[in-house]
Amino acid sequence: MNLKKLLTVTALASVFALTACKDDKKTDAAAQTLKVGVMSGPEHQVAEMAAKVAKEKYNLDVTFVEFNDYALPNPAVSKGDLDINAMQHKPYLDENVKANNIKNLVIVGNTFVYPLAGYSKTIKKVDELKDGAKVAVPNDPSNQGRALILLEKQGLIKLKDNQNLNATPLDIIENPKHLQIVPVDTAVAARALDDVDLAVVNNTYAGQVGLNATENGVFVEDKDSPYVNIIVARDDNKDSEAVKNFVKAYQTEEVYQEAVKHFKDGVVKGW
């Protein structure tokens, strides 16, 4: 090959190499963007901190789509309109995907537990609860089962099936302290504290009467709660670097402190 041909071939090779590099950069840039579905309000503000951490640590650009209807984010992820969402716990996910016949969603990480807790005006520790004490639990099916599972974790009762999220007092098979389980309206469970020895209260309603799970709870749900909030992706993108990096960014102290700021009634790390 003469010198002129050699230079031509070399020049063409350089052009192809540069083009390939540009394509690689485009691919890398595309892999480092993420569209995330969140609910409007405090949860979105917490997620914004996760996006800030993701940008600083992983050069990941996150854009958010806000929703006011919990029924919409899962179909949006499933169809590819969103990459992931961060707005629900697994019991809700299970119910929602069944109702919509969605089969391609997967959990890629935990965020926070917005916990139920046991509150009392008469005791500070579980073992101070007297024989025959009255214990109020929410009367709606979801929170009631959740409250009974929490009571079992404290060793106060034993359920027929502690995986049954819809358990009722009829499912209690052991009650060594002969506790009187009193179902009350979920919204007023915290106000029942004047009439019972212990009340298991949803964090939203506890906050309305000035109770904080971390500071005032006799016991509190932990990260192993089946109601820990989750980040959800699809089968086809669950292993992408962008998704993994967002999960890592969310599970940081900076995001936890942001959650504490917005959810003064209590928040527990889910990781």
Domains of the chain and any CATH numbers: 32-115+226-269 (3.40.190.10), 117-220 (3.40.190.10)
Chain segment 39-90, per-residue pLDDT in tens: 999 999 999 999 999 999 999 999 999 999 999 999 999 999 999 999 999 9
Q: Identify the band that residue 3 occupies on the pLDDT scale cut at 50, 70 and 90.
A: very low
Cα 209 to chain center, whole Å?
Answer: 24
**SS3 sequence of 92-136:** HHHHHHHHHCCCCEEEEEECEECCCEEECCCCCCHHHCCCCCEEE
> How, if at all, do strands 198-201 and 134-138 pair?
parallel
Is 111 in contact with 230 (CB distance < 8 Å)?
A: yes
- Token pair belonging to 39: 């609910």
Amino acid making up residue 212: N
Chain segment 182-206, per-residue pLDDT in tens: 999 988 888 899 999 999 998 878 8
- Classify burial at 142, counting beta carbons within 10 Å of its beta carbon; exposed 0-12, middle 13-18, buried 19 or more: middle
pTM over 0.85: no
Amino acid making up residue 51: A
Q: Which residue has the tokens 């996006």?
A: 51
Mean pLDDT of the chain: 89
Length of the chain: 271
